[in-house]
Structure 1
């Protein structure tokens, strides 16, 4: 029994170390961002460890597992920066979907747009053929304004903002946003201009780790430079609150996913999604509702938020 308790203690300490990795602001070693994103997995493992510890009376292991859960929860539970304002009449429903090289099922996407009465649709990895298919549907015909052109063939670099409200293109600073399109538009919601930014920084893979971090930091600098007006940043951030660069990018903004964000990636594996990397972040807007949608043809869940212009 002593050996079992020792093994449980070693595993618990390892889980505590893994759960604490989100507090390490580094891009090396290359596996670190992936490990940081596994907070929910470490919590599940710690719960199993607590049960085993109670059965074997391994009190040190039990306590260590409890600490590991608490440490992981700090970067998972979303309780900060919730908008403190009264909801006005101006409505803005936003949906973001990584269209996966333009392969996302357009019929299912159109149905989701209709179901949630979406006003602004942000699509990283969109292509012109996919946008044309969407425009041919009843749901797609509502979008009368768009941010710009996307690739004609299957590609990761196209991001489009589609709006049913009058909208004008807003220039964004040069930087990582020039590599993967990340356009911005000023959307007129009943006379109130709302700044909307489509987001798709590079993913945290070996060759792009520093670019991934730089891209998220640039998003943080951009949104803080645009204080004083209603703001939405939506899309595939390739990061969650487990990553320090994302926490900087969203500083002062609210993640509409709620207190326990739904995992949105990867959707097409034998195991369930484990990372919440798709977000609708807001500032100066009241959140009436939010959720996710599963769309065939892509490995990301769509995320949506029903927003209101603040009346004060």
Structure 2
């Protein structure tokens, strides 16, 4: 009876992990459950072992079926997509700077060695000054910034000329759109530096509003870009297990980690004694294909930088 009870509890936990991936997130209780879902999924194979040990074969068979379903929905994130052979590699780095407190010298060091385009969130006026003092303009002479106090600012630094930039209103935090001209690429590449409102620990309403509005914004950016590539990066305050985030992957948009087959990129929190447990920083692509993603520590912030190499077609 003990093994049966434990096995059923494990089955229920894994079933909840599956169900919550396709459910709305009305409040914090559901939010915490979906955050925990990738770890709760591990209850399914554990249930197989427990139920088989107790010779509860029908329940063990159900646990096998549930495990297969959970594995199937994860597999696409580990299968690499082949890029267009006539493409140019563009390296994108996105980083939440924790109220602008990220160490500017370390941030510049990482960006200089790993990026052609830097998308910054929580960019304060003081952080802009710090990055300038650290020499960011040497390798990234072009910029489109909306620096604001506390957590509200964002910005784009680029090795490539910025041909257009604008601020996008209507969100809880700043959002900057720009286009860059890259050698050998026919159409200018559109960029968007994103920081959605946090769903916790404060009220979840701002997050709901931002996520409800973002699909129309990215669709507008896609329409303006036409056949050109679109690269969107930042702190989405959402994991791949959240249905509202996955709904962004439409109209040609793809998650870079899925295209690269690199699975989950855990970026938060990065300032604890334990490794990051959440992947809330993402890069989305359209008319382009990511071939690699990785995370890198930057001193002074609670996020790891997400580095992505994206192949952008020349035509």
TM range (shorter): 0.7 to 0.9
TM-score (normalised: structure 1): 0.86
Q: Which residue of 1 aligns with 2:216?
A: 218
Q: Which residue of 1 aligns with 2:133?
A: 136
Task: Choose the corresponding residue for 2:165, options 140, 165, 170.
Answer: 170
Any gaps of 5 or more consecutive residues in structure 2?
none
Q: CA deviation at 1:55?
A: 3.1
Residues 166 and 177 in structure 2, CA contact (< 8 A), matched pair in contact too:
yes
Q: Distance in 2 between matches of 1:263 and 1:58?
A: 36
Q: Distance in 2 between matches of 1:61 and 1:296?
A: 48
Higher mean alpha-carbon deviation, 72-81 vs 188-197, is at 72-81
Task: Choose the corresponding residue for 1:147, options 144, 150, 156.
Answer: 144
Q: Distance in 1 between matches of 2:116 and 2:178?
A: 13
Aligned-residue Cα RMSD (Å) equals: 2.6
Instruction: Report SS of the residue matched to 1:95.
Output: strand
Q: Which residue of 1 aligns with 2:119?
A: 122
Any gaps of 5 or more consecutive residues in structure 1?
none
Instruction: Report SS of the residue matched to 2:214.
Output: helix
Residues 16 and 64 in structure 1, CA contact (< 8 A), matched pair in contact too:
no
Q: How many residues align?
A: 304
Task: Choose the corresponding residue for 1:204, options 199, 202, 209.
Answer: 199
Residues 42 and 69 in structure 1, CA contact (< 8 A), matched pair in contact too:
no
Q: Which residue of 1 aligns with 2:27?
A: 29
Q: CA deviation at 1:271?
A: 4.2
Q: CA deviation at 1:120?
A: 0.7
Q: Deviations over 1:6-37 (max 9, x none)?
A: 3311331232123221111x231332233223
Q: Distance in 2 between matches of 1:75 and 1:275?
A: 18
Instruction: Report SS of the residue matched to 1:50.
Output: helix
Q: CA deviation at 1:94?
A: 0.8
Instruction: Report SS of the residue matched to 1:130.
Output: helix
Q: Relative to 1, partners in 2 of residues 1:297 and 1:218: Cα closer, same or farther, differing over 3 Å? A: farther
TM-score (normalised: structure 2): 0.85
